[in-house]
Every structure is written in C-alpha cells, then in structure tokens.
Amino acid sequence: MLRKLFTALAPLALGLAFAAPTAAQAADQVVRVGYQKYGAFTLLKGRGTLEKKLEAQGWKVSWTEFPGGPQLLEALNVGAVDFGLTGEAPPVFAQAAGAQLVYIANEPPAPQGEAILVAKDSPIKSVKDLKGKKVALNKGSNVHYLLVKALEEAGLKYSDIQPVYLPPADARAAFSKGAVDAWVIWDPYLAAAEAQLPVRTLRDGKGLVANHQFILATRKFATAQPAVVKNVLSELQSADQWANANPAEAAKTLASQIGLPVDVVAATLPRNTLGLTPITPQVANQQQQIADVFKGLGLIPVPVKISDALLAQ
C-alpha cells in the first residue's frame, strides 16, 4: 500500500528521484505540522519517530495544536504550517477562501466517528425534531456536512434549524448547561461526551457520510520538498500500521498527547481505523459532492473544484 502511495505522489519529484536531501542542503529547516486532539499526526507526535527520521537529513519538526480543522487550515492558508490533518469539510471551505492547499492522502472512512448528540432526557427523539432548535457545531468542520445530510434525510432544510457555531470546548459547555438543544461533534470529543455526560446519539454518520480524514499540505511545500513529503507519509503509514496492530498501546500514546483517559481514547479506535491511502477518483468525487452541497446552501461564496487541489497525475 505504501509503495502505491509513493507512486501516486511521484509527479511531485518533477523529474527528480526521491533522494533525501543532505544535511547541508536542509540545515536548520523546519517542517511545521498542524494537528488536532486526535488522528494520525497526534499519534505520530506521541511516538516521536518523525523527528528521528528527518533529523538525519537536517530537518526539525515543530508541532502546533488546533481546536478544529477550520482553524488549522486557516493557519495553513497564511503559511504558518506546512502539513495538517482535517476532516472532509475544512479543505472545501479553505479552498473556497483561496487557500493554496493540496490533498496528499486520506485515512479510511469513519462514519461512526462523528454524531449528533442530545441530552439523555431530551424530548428530541429524531433528527426531524430538530426543527427550530439550536444546534451547536464547529463551522466548516467535518460535522457540518453530517448535519446537512442528516437534516436532508429527515426532510428538513438547513434553514429549519438555528446553527450555533462554536469550537468543541465552547460547544460542550453550551450543551452541558442546556444553552443549545443538540451538539454535532467528532471523536475524541464525542467519546468523551459519551463517557462523561448524560447524552444520547440522535444520528451518527453510518450510511450517511464517509467522514474521511485528509492529510493536506501547502502546494508550495509539497512541490518544493517531495523528499520530505515522502518521509512524512512513510512515518504516518508506519504509525497507522502500528496502531492497528497495537490498539491498547496506541490508546495510551494518544491519551498522553490529548489529556483524556485511556479508556475514552480506546473507545474511539474501533470506529476510526487508520490506514493511509492515496486520493482516489472516488474520494475526490465525494469531496466534490460536499463542495457542491455547501455552495448550493450558500455556505461557501464560490464554486470549488476539488481537482484544482489534487496533485498532478
């Protein structure tokens, strides 16, 4: 699988081999990685293997945590980070804002890794009951698309609800005190809420959305540093394989990075299988559908062509 991934990325070399730069060529250069409280980059940071891989080539690694994908890609857009991992919706919003990003690879679908939650004793029994209600979500995140599709499935329009745009920590606080009627959220915040709050899942993404996680980079970095891209992907793939083979240890590593109990993190792993793959036409088409839906709802100001953010094949 990893060989196929590198083959798909070969055009980045622009006719050159993926030979690693010498220490002299790359002295004091830094790979800036944006990560969230979950996912392959968080696992990679906890293992510390990327630093070892790149150190011999004269590169250092800096890590910056973000509360959500939209915030991470805003940093990528202004050149504050070179790499990041987000869900499906953030790159669509970022591309609509003019971000010069490229899709590098994706993780497998994880439709049950996000859900619409209501209080356990809430009178809301179905998505249809959300009409006129306040629903908290991180604008432009993966759960934004889940909410749109769940409403559509229930025969409701997006305008039928009152969206309340809040980052995860603020959304949890609002939800806990009853300031909003529902909360659309992803792992590990989802697992933490299930373990720590009296909640009920109204609808998860199963049969409704794919919920891919994407590795993204600035176009400038991806085209200028193909050898570094190769090494980042190699370490991500190794981390994924290790996590799938050692879920208990992976849960401990992730828990140490994100400050959640090991049992909470462990609950997320079965519904968030890891395994890096190249961007296929099918996945690109799914992203295009998301972009088209958001444009139709007026959530993004301009049409987005996902093909413009793919690496040349």
Q: Are residues 54 and 94 in the same domain?
A: yes
Q: Which CATH number characterizes residue 252's domain? A: 3.40.190.10
Over range 227-251, report the average pLDDT: 95
Q: Are residues 120 and 154 in the same domain?
A: yes
DSSP β-ladder status, 29-35 and 83-86:
parallel
pLDDT tens, residue by residue, 61-101 = 999 999 889 999 999 999 999 999 999 999 999 999 999 99
pLDDT for 2 beyond 80: no
Residues 80, 64 contacting (CB under 8 angstroms): yes
The amino acid sitting at 113 is G
Name the residue range of residue 187's domain.
Answer: 111-204
Angle subtended by helix axes 281-296 and 142-153, to nearest 10 = 70
Over range 259-269, report the average pLDDT: 95
Q: Are residues 7 and 102 in the same domain?
A: yes
Q: Please report, for residues 96, 182, 212, the alpha-carbon distance to residue 283 in angstroms, rounded to integers and kept in the order given.
A: 19, 29, 9
Query: Which residues share a beta bridge with 201?
Result: 117
pLDDT at 229: 95
Of the residues 204, 227, 259, the one at which a domain ends = 204
pLDDT for 307 beyond 60: yes
Give all strands of the β-sheet with 101-106 in edge-to-edge order. Answer: 59-65, 29-35, 83-86, 214-218, 101-106
pLDDT for 11 beyond 90: no
Number of structural domains in the chain: 2
pLDDT for 106 beyond 90: yes
Q: Which of 103, 38, 108 is nearest to 268 (CA)?
A: 38
User: Percent of the chain scored above 90 by pLDDT?
Assistant: 86
pLDDT at 313: 53
Residues 73, 90 contacting (CB under 8 angstroms): yes
pLDDT at 1: 39
pLDDT for 20 beyond 90: no
Q: Which of 192, 199, 186, 209 is nearest to 114 (CA)?
A: 186
pLDDT at 311: 82
Among positive and negative, which fits the CA dihedral 67, 310, 236, 227?
negative
pLDDT for 7 beyond 70: no
* The model scores a pTM over 0.95: no
| Residue 44 banded pLDDT, cuts 50, 70, 90 | very high
Q: Are residues 134 and 229 in the same domain?
A: no
Q: Are residues 57 and 139 in the same domain?
A: no
pLDDT tens, residue by residue, 129-157 = 999 999 999 999 999 999 999 999 999 99
- pLDDT, mean over the chain: 90
- Per-residue burial over 293-311, b if 16 or more Cβ lie within 10 Å, else e, is bbbeeebbeeebebeebeb
| Residue 15 banded pLDDT, cuts 50, 70, 90 | very low
| Residue 26 banded pLDDT, cuts 50, 70, 90 | very low
Distance CA 6, CA 94 (A): 25
Of the residues 204, 233, 259, the one at which a domain ends = 204
Which H or E element spans position 199?
strand 199-204
pLDDT for 4 beyond 80: no
| Residue 56 banded pLDDT, cuts 50, 70, 90 | confident
Q: Please report, for residues 17, 24, 173, 223, the alpha-carbon distance to residue 69 in angstroms, rounded to integers and kept in the order given.
A: 32, 35, 20, 23
Of the residues 172, 204, 236, the one at which a domain ends = 204
Over range 189-213, report the average pLDDT: 97
